[in-house]
Amino acid sequence: MATAYKNLSEYDSSQISDVSRMRFGIVVSEWNKEITEKLKEGAYNTLIKHGAKPENIVVCYVPGSFELVYGAKLLADSVQPDAVIGLGCVIRGETPHFDYVCSGVTQGFAVLNAKGTIPFIFGLLTNDTMKQSIDRAGGIYGNKGDEAAVTAIKMAQLSCSFK
């Protein structure tokens, strides 16, 4: 397992250009809020670190991870950002609900990316335990919110380079 050896949130920040003229949307699931708020903080702070202006970052909340797809689409259509980041956390339980939610959100974000004109960044933690989620929301394996923000920046810059 690669994450056993490395904090995956480490990256070369010199490879990230200034994003002060870009707009970003962040849609956050309220379910497992103790995790998703940390993911949001990581994403928001990383965008700010690279020059995004607070007024150019729009954050909205949806009840659960399954609703991230609709929230991301609604945010994209109404705010017209350069990229949208979806952040959620699903922890495996005793029923197949985990599989349906994870699959639905994954497929939904794939469709948004295939049909959209901006990048939609998949920031959904899909873990077996709360500890695994904590480890990936600012714990020993970094913060997947940071990673989602870096991905959003890179993909938005790629998208802009073709316009």
CA distance 160 to 151: 14
Q: Strand 24-29 and strand 83-91: pairing?
A: parallel
Residues in the chain: 163
CA dist., res. 54 & res. 34, Å (int): 23
Q: Which of 159, 149, 110 is nearest to 13 (CA)?
A: 149
Residue type, 71: G
Burial letters for 19-30: b for 16+ Cβ neighbours within 10 Å, e otherwise?
Answer: beebbbbbbbbe
Q: Which residues are catalytic?
A: 97
